[in-house]
Amino acid sequence: MQEISAFLIIDVQNGFINQHTKAIPRLVEKEQENYKLVWASRLEYSARSPFLTIRKLSGFNNVDKPTELAFSLKPGAKTFIKHGYSAASKEFLEELARHNVTTVYLAGVDTDQCVLATALALFDAGITPKIVVDRCASTGGIASHEAGIVVLRRALGDQNLTF
């Protein structure tokens, strides 16, 4: 079967840019030019969001327009909203199926949470997730990012991590 790949940029939005993630917007903006199919996810909290009700977070960093993307999407790329850790929603999986996508390259924030959850959900859906490691970071810092990479390497195998 022919590989059809896409690029998914996870949660690179104003509310998640800090000293640990500040390089990611520029990197993913440039990286998306390597792909024909590009999507981006944005996390939005609702009053019933598990991030607020279960994790007891207070919301995003105190910045203007926290849910807006922190980079420019290339023309024709699509954005969709997510409300939990994984970006592999029913809507996104249907989009992948419409385009016969077999492999999704993942980049974004947070390696140890949303990137990890999305990769595992894609794996469970029978789609090959490939982590673009140097285009990922964690708001919690390098230790959180590296912990995510350790788990992703174990779960997906070295062949599905790219640098």
CATH number at residue 97: 3.40.50.850
Mean pLDDT over 44-57 rounds to 83
Let me know if 140 is exposed, middle or buried by CB neighbors in 10 A (0-12, 13-18, 19+): middle
In this prediction the pTM is 0.95
3-state secondary structure of 106: strand
Domain that holds residue 110: 5-162
Tally of structural domains, the chain: 1
As given in the structure block, the two tokens for residue 83 are 């409300």
Q: What is the pLDDT of residue 61?
A: 66
Q: Mind listing the pLDDT tens digit for each residue in 19-43? A: 999 999 999 999 999 999 999 999 9
Asked if pLDDT for residue 112 goes beyond 80, the answer is yes
